[in-house]
């Protein structure tokens, strides 16, 4: 999991990738001709055009305010089409996106916080991106996988949340890591719903001012650190279940494309590299290796589905990926007693040198994996 | 794809500076001369007897030559040194990596971005180059590779019979407090440049290219060179405030280089002919205790005065030291070739400061880099003597150590780092 801001980045990257695939015929020339001008100030967000033709759009953003800002193109349900962070006062930035007909909002967030200042835009007509049947097949299979992961996860979440609600610490501890596997396998998709992730998977240090801490890690801390389940924790359990039920219902509507699958796979490894390898993710339960494995499995699933396409374009890349996935899985197997179980060594007990070895293996896989999206779209 | 030059092209070389083409044109012998020019000296070039004025510190140092650049070439201001573990078990993969590294090094030392550059490529793929050196000059970047003893271990790459005798495991010296996490390595790359961003960019890109085949074991940033291979230039000072490197080998003194630095045919050097041996030591200084030491003691410890740098009893820095006038424990006396049967090393060290150590003490000192023809007869006896007797030991501690065989230079576009070793 990540802090809210990071989940936003993930979603944006996912959609940016979508952009690239659908618009692969027309490269942005970056000159900003015909671009929608967005002037961001501390208290306003002026958009030069609110009616646009579908297809490739470009936003030329100018921050005339005094605060660092970020600008989003959002679906009506707040899903992110494209975004740009860290636009400093007095600087310019360009955001490009491939947009289908429909209603959208452009949001400026001065100070990079809150709901932002929003402006509705309407997109009409335009062309529909063409995709090869094998790409459609890969996307459909991945969509099925993502849904299945959510479907299988909910009963496991129920075991966990029921135990918490009942105050059964031991049973809750036992069910904790397992209840997260499906989420971790499909994290880039799960995180694309910007409103669910901060409720279920935020860590204490990722909270924004005034945000109430809920979700898995809140309960993780209660179970392993505080070692008690009070009325508040017990009440949070059904909330977690409800929020994840929301995920299960909405996951089917996620935008998925071949490049978002490829970049999603890479992002799963990035998750491992920044959160799991350091032991930061599961700092109380030390079940990081379970998340680690789930992230790798999710990445591998995306990769397997894309492999027939990628191999045609870059056989050297897929052979290197095959090798590195196998090497990382072999390494992970060292930390569990049996290949089919998800009982892994507590990360607390993994020494510095072993963590370095895991980190090197993650880098060895993530680096070529970062080139998968290009191999898919060539 | 756009060719992203950080450097002005050959034709646009600033007036007064030798063009890169000219530097390359001098060939092997010109390499050292070119380096001197870049280092700020004025040299007469043999080919045309035209005096070449000093190039600015942004110039490019030729990558190709009989010896690797970064040893006898003029010392730049900044360092990023990295030691790597080779993680692949496949010899062919290691060879492929060395070839890729060589091509990337050729480009980066010339001031070009790696591969297809940092922008303009596919939107959904990360760029080939990390981009932080765009717009910067070559900054005299040199990249120098070395092979550690562990690379030659039995059962690894079939190199056990090719390990040079001189590539010994360094003995444990008294007083050493070596951190394994800052020692050793199968490979090393020394990146020196006048701009730290250029040096860091180079190591970062090589590390990235290497992922899956190599992993960084440890690395060290350095600033403020503590010795010079251009003795006419002002001698730099180390973190203790003393001039360091007064008697260093000059990069233009080919006789001294042949005698003390380059592995020769006579050494049965084989693939190492034209190469050298590098010892890297992270030497922590007890800065705070040094700073509250009396001036007299400080000067006694070194055997030179602090202001001018003159040896004890002499007036000028470069006056011949009278060793017997120094205390028997004086650093200069113990390190001098006359005390060590003529053993001479080429120093190329840098100061480092890695913040503080948690006790409020500056984690600072000297990242000592020394090149020599045979470590067994140069650094080892020298360090044995220093470790046993040097008054400076009270104020320093060796905390990291590594030894590398540095192969000869890459001759041309078809050659690559380590070709002679692997063929």
Question: Is pLDDT of A155 > 70?
Answer: yes
The alpha carbon of residue A238 is apart from the nearest alpha carbon of chain B, in Å, by: 40
pLDDT for A184:
97
Task: Answer with the residue of higher pLDDT: A143 or A194.
Answer: A143
Q: What are phi and psi of B202, to 5 degrees?
A: -65, -50
B46 close contact with A: CB closer than 8 A: no
Interface test with A, best of B121, B124, B204, B215 (most A CBs within 10 A): B124
pLDDT for A82:
80
Angstrom distance (rounded) from CA A258 to CA A302: 9
Angstrom distance (rounded) from CA B380 to CA B377: 6
A210 SS3 class:
coil
The alpha carbon of residue A118 is apart from the nearest alpha carbon of chain B, in Å, by: 28
Q: Which residues of B touch A373 (CB under 8 A)?
A: 122, 124-125
A377 close contact with B: CB closer than 8 A: yes
A17 close contact with B: CB closer than 8 A: yes
pLDDT digits (tens, 9 = 90+) for B224-256: 887 777 776 778 899 999 998 888 899 999 999
A31 close contact with B: CB closer than 8 A: no
- Out of A7-16, A130-139, A353-362, least confident range: A7-16
Query: Which of B85, B125, B211 is nearest residue A374 as measured by Cβ atoms?
Result: B125
pLDDT for B97:
98
Angstrom distance (rounded) from CA B283 to CA B366: 5
Pick the residue from chain B with its C-alpha nearest to A29: B120
Q: Do the chains contact at A370 and B123, CB–CB below 8 Å? A: no
Angstrom distance (rounded) from CA B138 to CA A375: 32
Question: Is pLDDT of A15 > 60?
Answer: no
B211 close contact with A: CB closer than 8 A: yes
Contacts of A352 (CB under 8 A, 6+ apart): none
Angstrom distance (rounded) from CA B257 to CA B344: 10
pLDDT for A13:
40
Pick the residue from chain B with its C-alpha nearest to A262: B124
Q: Which residues of A touch B126 (CB under 8 A)?
A: 370-371
pLDDT digits (tens, 9 = 90+) for A112-136: 877 789 999 998 876 555 568 888 8
Dmax (CA) for chain A in angstroms is 62
pLDDT for A77:
59
Angstrom distance (rounded) from CA B85 to CA B289: 36
* Cβ proximity of B76 and B193 under 8 Å: yes
Angstrom distance (rounded) from CA A365 to CA A359: 10
∠A119-A125-A130 over CA atoms, to 5°? 110
Provide the pairing of β-strand A92-99 with A55-63: antiparallel
Question: Is pLDDT of A235 > 70?
Answer: yes
Angstrom distance (rounded) from CA A77 to CA B412: 59
A374 close contact with B: CB closer than 8 A: yes
Q: Do the chains contact at B122 and A19, CB–CB below 8 Å? A: no
pLDDT digits (tens, 9 = 90+) for A157-174: 999 999 999 999 999 999
Contacts of B302 (CB under 8 A, 6+ apart): B240, B242, B330, B331, B332, B392
pLDDT for B41:
34
Question: Is pLDDT of A1 > 50?
Answer: no
Question: Is pLDDT of A111 > 50?
Answer: yes
The alpha carbon of residue A11 is apart from the nearest alpha carbon of chain B, in Å, by: 14
Q: How many CA atoms lie within 13 A of A202 on its CB side?
A: 23
Nearest to B20 by CA among B6, B10, B7: B10
pLDDT for A115:
79
% of chain A surpassing 70 pLDDT: 89
CA distances from A49 to A39, A46, A122, A123 (A): 12, 9, 9, 11
* Cβ proximity of A124 and A101 under 8 Å: yes
Q: Which of residues 215-274 of A touch B (CB under 8 A)?
A: 259, 262-263
pLDDT average, residue stretch A322-349? 95
Nearest to B140 by CA among B12, B254, B67, B54: B54
B339 SS3 class:
helix
pLDDT for A136:
83
* Cβ proximity of B288 and B363 under 8 Å: no
pLDDT for A126:
64
Query: Which of A20, A262, A364 is nearest residue B123 as measured by Cβ atoms?
Result: A20
- How far is CA A301 from its chain centroid? 15
The alpha carbon of residue A44 is apart from the nearest alpha carbon of chain B, in Å, by: 31
The pLDDT-based confidence of A288 (bands split at 50, 70, 90) is: very high
Q: Do the chains contact at A371 and B211, CB–CB below 8 Å? A: no
B215 close contact with A: CB closer than 8 A: yes
Angstrom distance (rounded) from CA A340 to CA A332: 12
Contacts of A3 (CB under 8 A, 6+ apart): A202, A203, A205, A206, A207
| Residue B397 DSSP symbol | E
Straight-line distance from the first to the last Cα atom of chain A, in angstroms, rounded to the nearest whole number: 31
The pLDDT-based confidence of A57 (bands split at 50, 70, 90) is: confident
pLDDT for B125:
86
B208 close contact with A: CB closer than 8 A: yes
Pick the residue from chain A with its C-alpha nearest to B88: A364
Q: For the purposes of burial, counting CB atoms within 10 Å of the CB of B74, is it exposed (0-12), middle (13-18) or buried (19 or more)? A: buried
Average pLDDT, chain A: 87
pLDDT digits (tens, 9 = 90+) for B95-142: 999 999 999 999 999 999 999 899 988 888 899 999 999 999 999 999
B212 close contact with A: CB closer than 8 A: yes
Strand order in the sheet with A92-99: A45-47, A36-40, A55-63, A92-99
Angstrom distance (rounded) from CA A201 to CA A209: 17
Q: Do the chains contact at A363 and B125, CB–CB below 8 Å? A: no
Interface test with B, best of A356, A362, A376 (most B CBs within 10 A): A356
Query: Which of A366, A367, A374 is nearest residue B124 as measured by Cβ atoms?
Result: A374
Q: Do the chains contact at B124 and A370, CB–CB below 8 Å? A: no
Q: What are phi and psi of A343, to 5 degrees?
A: -95, 110
Interface test with A, best of B84, B121, B125 (most A CBs within 10 A): B125
A131 SS3 class:
coil
Question: Is pLDDT of A19 > 50?
Answer: no
Q: Do the chains contact at A363 and B123, CB–CB below 8 Å? A: no
Query: Which of A259, A262, A360 is nearest residue B87 as measured by Cβ atoms?
Result: A360
pLDDT for A47:
94
pLDDT for B50:
32
Pick the residue from chain B with its C-alpha nearest to A360: B215
Q: Helices A133-165 and A231-250 sit at what angle, rounded to 10 degrees?
A: 160
The encoded tokens of residue B354 equal: 């890695």
* Cβ proximity of A229 and A325 under 8 Å: no
Contacts of A239 (CB under 8 A, 6+ apart): A199, A214
B359 close contact with A: CB closer than 8 A: no
Dmax (CA) for chain B in angstroms is 69
A167 SS3 class:
coil
Q: Which residues of B touch A259 (CB under 8 A)?
A: 124
Note down pLDDT in tens along chain B; length 423 residues: 444 545 434 333 334 343 333 333 333 333 333 333 333 333 333 333 333 333 456 899 999 999 999 999 999 999 999 999 999 999 999 999 999 999 999 999 999 999 989 998 888 889 999 999 999 999 999 999 999 999 999 999 999 999 999 999 999 999 999 999 999 999 999 999 999 999 999 999 999 999 999 999 999 999 988 777 777 677 889 999 999 888 889 999 999 999 999 999 998 889 999 999 999 999 999 999 999 999 999 999 999 999 999 999 999 999 999 999 999 999 999 999 999 999 999 999 999 999 999 999 999 999 999 999 999 999 999 999 999 999 999 999 999 999 999 999 999 999 999 999 998
Task: Answer with the residue of higher pLDDT: B210 or A19.
Answer: B210
pLDDT for A98:
77
Which residues are paired to B283 by β-bridges?
A: B366, B398
CA distances from A51 to A102, A106, B243 (A): 10, 12, 70
- ipTM of the modeled complex: 0.78
pLDDT for A127:
54
% of chain A surpassing 90 pLDDT: 62
The encoded tokens of residue A67 equal: 């605060």
pLDDT digits (tens, 9 = 90+) for B197-216: 999 999 999 999 999 999 99
Q: Which residues of B touch A19 (CB under 8 A)?
A: 123
Question: Is pLDDT of A23 > 80?
Answer: no
* Cβ proximity of B329 and B312 under 8 Å: no
pLDDT for A192:
83
Q: Which of residues 70-99 of B touch A (CB under 8 A)?
A: 85, 87
Q: Do the chains contact at A20 and B211, CB–CB below 8 Å? A: no
pLDDT for A33:
52
Task: Answer with the residue of higher pLDDT: A34 or B210.
Answer: B210
Query: Which of B87, B123, B124 is nearest residue A364 as measured by Cβ atoms?
Result: B87
pLDDT digits (tens, 9 = 90+) for B20-44: 333 333 333 333 333 333 333 333 3
pLDDT for A12:
39
The encoded tokens of residue B200 equal: 């860091």
Q: Which residues of B touch A17 (CB under 8 A)?
A: 124
Q: Which residues of B touch A29 (CB under 8 A)?
A: none
* Cβ proximity of B276 and B372 under 8 Å: yes
The alpha carbon of residue B413 is apart from the nearest alpha carbon of chain A, in Å, by: 24
| Residue B8 DSSP symbol | P
Angstrom distance (rounded) from CA B32 to CA B67: 10
* Cβ proximity of B285 and B364 under 8 Å: yes
Query: Which of A259, A367, A373 is nearest residue B208 as measured by Cβ atoms?
Result: A367
Angstrom distance (rounded) from CA B222 to CA B216: 17
Angstrom distance (rounded) from CA A47 to CA A45: 6
Conformation bin of residue A21: beta by default, left when phi > 0, alpha when psi is -120 to 50:
alpha
Query: Which of B123, B125, B215 is nearest residue A360 as measured by Cβ atoms?
Result: B215
pLDDT for A79:
67
A-B C-beta contacts closer than 8 Å: 45
Q: Do the chains contact at A19 and B125, CB–CB below 8 Å? A: no
């Amino acid at each position: 999991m990540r802090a809210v801001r990071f989940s936003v980045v993930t979603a944006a990257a996912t959609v940016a990738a979508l952009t690239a695939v659908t618009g692969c015929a027309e490269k942005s020339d970056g000159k900003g001709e015909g671009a929608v001008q967005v002037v961001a100030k501390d208290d306003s967000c002026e958009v030069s055009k609110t009616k646009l033709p579908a297809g490739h759009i470009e936003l030329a953003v100018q921050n005339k305010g005094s605060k660092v800002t970020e600008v989003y193109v959002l679906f009506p349900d707040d899903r992110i089409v494209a975004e740009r962070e860290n636009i400093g006062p007095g600087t310019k930035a360009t955001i490009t996106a491939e947009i289908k007909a429909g209603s959208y909002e452009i949001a400026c967030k001065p100070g990079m916080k809150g709901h932002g200042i929003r402006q509705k835009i309407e997109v009409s007509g335009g062309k529909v991106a063409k995709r090869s049947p094998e790409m459609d097949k890969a996307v459909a299979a991945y969509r099925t996988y993502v849904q299945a992961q959510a479907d299988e996860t909910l009963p496991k979440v129920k075991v966990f949340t029921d135990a918490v609600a009942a105050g059964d610490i031991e049973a809750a501890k036992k069910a904790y890591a397992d209840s997260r596997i499906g989420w971790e396998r499909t994290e880039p998709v799960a995180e694309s719903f910007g409103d669910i992730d901060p409720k279920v998977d935020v860590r204490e240090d990722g909270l924004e001012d005034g945000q109430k801490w809920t979700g898995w890690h809140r309960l993780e801390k209660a179970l392993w650190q505080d070692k008690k389940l009070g009325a508040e924790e017990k009440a949070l359990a059904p909330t977690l279940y409800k929020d994840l039920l929301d995920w299960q219902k909405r996951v089917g509507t996620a935008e998925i494309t071949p490049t978002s699958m490829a970049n999603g796979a890479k992002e799963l490894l990035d998750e491992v590299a920044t959160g799991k390898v350091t032991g930061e993710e599961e700092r109380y339960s030390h079940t990081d290796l379970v998340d680690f494995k789930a992230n790798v499995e999710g990445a591998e699933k995306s990769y397997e589905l894309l492999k027939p396409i990628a191999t045609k374009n870059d056989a050297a890349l897929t052979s290197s990926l095959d090798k590195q996935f196998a090497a990382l899985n072999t390494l992970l197997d060292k930390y569990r007693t049996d290949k089919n179980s998800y009982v892994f060594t507590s990360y607390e007990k993994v020494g510095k040198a072993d963590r370095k070895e895991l980190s090197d293996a993650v880098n060895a896989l993530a680096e070529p994996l970062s080139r998968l999206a290009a191999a898919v779209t060539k | 794809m756009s060719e992203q030059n950080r450097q002005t092209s050959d034709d646009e070389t600033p007036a007064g500076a030798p063009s890169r083409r000219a530097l390359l044109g001098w060939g092997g012998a010109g390499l050292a001369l070119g380096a001197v020019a870049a280092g700020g000296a004025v040299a007469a070039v043999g080919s045309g007897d035209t005096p070449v004025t000093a190039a600015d510190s942004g110039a490019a140092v030729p990558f190709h030559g009989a010896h690797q650049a970064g040893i006898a070439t003029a010392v730049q201001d900044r360092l990023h040194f990295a030691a790597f573990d080779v993680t692949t078990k496949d010899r062919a993969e290691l060879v492929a990596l060395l070839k890729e590294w060589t091509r990337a090094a050729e480009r980066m030392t010339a001031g070009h971005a790696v591969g297809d550059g940092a922008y303009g490529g596919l939107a959904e793929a990360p760029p080939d180059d990390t981009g932080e050196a765009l717009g910067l000059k070559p900054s005299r970047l040199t990249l120098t590779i070395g092979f550690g003893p562990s690379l030659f271990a039995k059962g690894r790459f079939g190199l056990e019979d090719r390990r040079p005798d001189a590539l010994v495991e360094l003995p444990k010296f008294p007083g050493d407090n070596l951190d394994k996490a800052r020692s050793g390595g199968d490979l090393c790359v020394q990146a020196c440049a006048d701009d730290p961003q250029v040096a860091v960019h180079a190591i970062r890109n090589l590390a990235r290219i290497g992922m899956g085949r190599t992993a960084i074991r440890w690395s060290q940033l350095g600033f403020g060179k503590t010795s010079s291979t251009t003795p006419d230039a002002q001698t730099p000072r180390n973190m203790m405030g003393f001039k360091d490197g007064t008697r260093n080998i000059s990069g233009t003194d080919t006789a001294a280089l042949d005698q003390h630095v380059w592995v020769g045919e006579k050494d049965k050097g084989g693939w190492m002919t034209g190469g050298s041996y590098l010892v890297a030591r992270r030497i922590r200084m007890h800065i705070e205790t040094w700073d509250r030491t009396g001036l007299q003691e400080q000067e006694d410890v070194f055997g030179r005065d602090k202001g001018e740098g003159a040896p004890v009893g002499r007036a000028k820095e470069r006056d011949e030291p009278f060793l017997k006038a120094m205390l028997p424990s004086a650093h200069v006396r113990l390190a001098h070739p006359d005390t060590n049967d003529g053993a001479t090393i080429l120093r190329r060290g840098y100061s480092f400061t890695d913040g503080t150590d948690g006790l409020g003490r500056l984690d600072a000192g000297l990242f000592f880099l020394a090149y020599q023809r045979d470590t067994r007869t140069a650094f080892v006896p020298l360090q044995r003597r220093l470790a046993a007797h040097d008054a400076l030991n009270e104020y320093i501690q060796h905390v990291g150590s590594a030894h590398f065989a540095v192969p000869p230079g890459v001759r041309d576009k078809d050659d690559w780092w380590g070709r002679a070793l692997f063929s």
